[in-house]
Amino acid sequence: MAVTRRALFERVLQGIGVGVVGGGLDRALADSQVETTGQASGPLTVRVSRPFDAETPVREFTSWLTSNERFFVRSHFGPPSAEAIQPETWRLTVKGLVKDELTLSLPELKKFEPVTITAVLQCSGNGRAHHRPKVPGVQWERGAAGNAQWTGVRLRDVLQRAGVKPQGLHVQLQGADRPALPTVPLFTRSIPIAKALHPDTLLAYEMNGRPLPLLHGAPLRVITPGWMAESCMKWLTEITLRADETPGYYMQQAYRIPETSIQPGSGLPGSVMVPVEQMPVKSLIAAPAEGDTLRIGPVTIQGVAWAGESPITKVEVSCDDGKTWAPARLVGEEQPYAWRHWQYLWNARQVGPTAILCRATDAQGTQQPEKSPWNPGGFLWNGWDRLSVTVAA
């Protein structure tokens, strides 16, 4: 079947509306503002059409904030049905080990003090395609990450209203999205109470100053700044205080890494697997692009670096495939949890092919490794970023 790129793209667009009934599809399309004409591939690189999983081309990372329509999209089952999240009937419930159960509408929730935080959101599987041996899962390359301004209320404030009982040590998060088959486990996660009570952990209803788009969790999602995105539950409807970590596949089997490094290619170790939480130190080159031909002379190399809850203190660049390194200049905004832009002015003098690399160091002195430790889920890739370019006279 000769599917034209245009036709394929239209299918992808339609795929966004999975499980969305009535006006939901139109809303999803309007929200995503994916171009329906012009470039066949639109602003995102699609990895899976349904559920819609797509990454941001890294050239977009030259912007401080990643726009909503260019922000990477990942979910396990696609957006929930329109009925499950329509504004009139949508409610957030807080239950379990609390003194008073709460049921809040969106206007009621917005009465808590609003807070805005700029934070990187990154899929744990970002960079999975770089792990060797290869591991199963969506083969994300570099762009399952973005930096956005999140506005919402503190999860802590809501939990304090409900009154957490002393035994409530884990906060279970459930969204309204559902699998196609009832035999597939729900995507349910929990975060430890300390992270839930951290003043920067939010229930966000705005993204970059606009109502949270459907593909990003409308009307409400969790933001755990500095932590990987599987804790940032989208389409949030239920918060349950528990004594223990949430049981079930997505907490006990998926999104876990070996506590100590294991032999690449070995199966799930009998040793301890711990939940993926903090983002490790990482940097990416946003420009030039892979495969570019550069004119001999000065070239600005630029990119981003971030390290979860820790500030970035250094980014180094190598323009000779790792033989020598020089420090880049940290530029622009500096905010906790956000990424830091960096620049390096390279005077390209030698004609021919070469590789440009970058590596970052955080305030704890942790440096980005050449390659990340292998793990069976392919999580937390943070190896040096590398571009092949050619210098021409």
Partner 1 sequence: MRGVTEGVRRERGRWSPLVAGLVLLLGIAAVTAAQEDDKHTIEPAQARRAVTLIHARCAVCHTTDLIVQQRLPPDRWQVTVEKMMHWGADLSKDEADALLQFVTARYHPGATDHLPSIEEELAMTAPAGGPSPASDGPLVGVSARGAEIFARNCQACHGEGAMGGAGPKLARNKILKNEGAFWETVLHGRGPMPAWGSVLSHQEIADIHAWLASR
Give the interface with partner 1 as residue ranges (CB under 8 A). 1-3, 11, 14-15, 17-19, 21, 25, 46-51, 133-136, 138-139, 179-185, 267
Q: Which is nearer to partner 1, 51 or 152 (CB)?
A: 51
Q: What is the dihedral of CA 20, 173, 91, 160, to 10 degrees?
A: -160
Please tell me the distance from the alpha carbon of residue 250 to that of residue 230, in angstroms, as a whole number: 9
Rounded Cα distance, 103 and 353, in Å: 61
Nearest approach in angstroms of CB 385 to partner 1 is 19
Which two tokens mark 355?
Answer: 């590789």
The CB-of-295 to partner 1 minimum distance in angstroms stands at 29
- Give me the DSSP letters along 40-62: TTTTSEEEETTTTEEE--GGGGG
**Shortest reach from residue 50's CB to partner 1, in Å:** 5
Which amino acid is residue 71, in one-letter code?
A: F
Q: Which is nearer to partner 1, 81 or 343 (CB)?
A: 81
CA–CA–CA angle 379, 20, 71 (5° rounding): 40
- Which residues, other chains included, contact 208 with Cβ-Cβ below 8 Å and sequence gap of 6+? 65, 67, 68, 148, 149
Q: Which is nearer to partner 1, 50 or 242 (CB)?
A: 50
d(CA 393, CA 22): 57
Between residues 126 and 151, which has the closer beta carbon with respect to partner 1?
A: 126
CB of 14 to partner 1, least distance (A): 4
User: How far is residue 10's CA from residue 24's CA, in Å, rounded to a whole number?
Assistant: 16
CB of 78 vs partner 1, minimal distance in Å? 8
Q: Which of 157, 200, 220, 197 is nearest to 337 (CA)?
A: 200
> Cα 257 to the chain's mean position, in Å?
17
Which C-beta is closer to partner 1: that of 77 or that of 205? 77
Q: How far is the CB of 281 from partner 1 (least distance, A)?
A: 28
CB of 1 to partner 1, least distance (A): 4
Residue among 166 and 291 whose Cβ is closer to partner 1: 291
CB-nearer residue toward partner 1: 181 or 393: 181
104 φ/ψ angles, rounded to the nearest 5 degrees: -120, 135
Q: At what angle do helices 5-16 and 24-32 cross, to 10 degrees?
A: 120
CB 140 → partner 1: shortest distance, Å? 10
Q: Which is nearer to partner 1, 257 or 358 (CB)?
A: 257
Smallest gap from residue 184 Cβ to partner 1 (A): 5
DSSP reduced 3-state for 118: strand
Question: What's the one-letter identity of residue 287?
Answer: A
Nearer residue to partner 1 within complex by CB, 110 or 134: 134
Q: Specify whether the CB–CB gap between 174 and 251 falls below 8 A.
A: no
Q: Nearest CA to 28 among 72, 78, 76?
A: 78
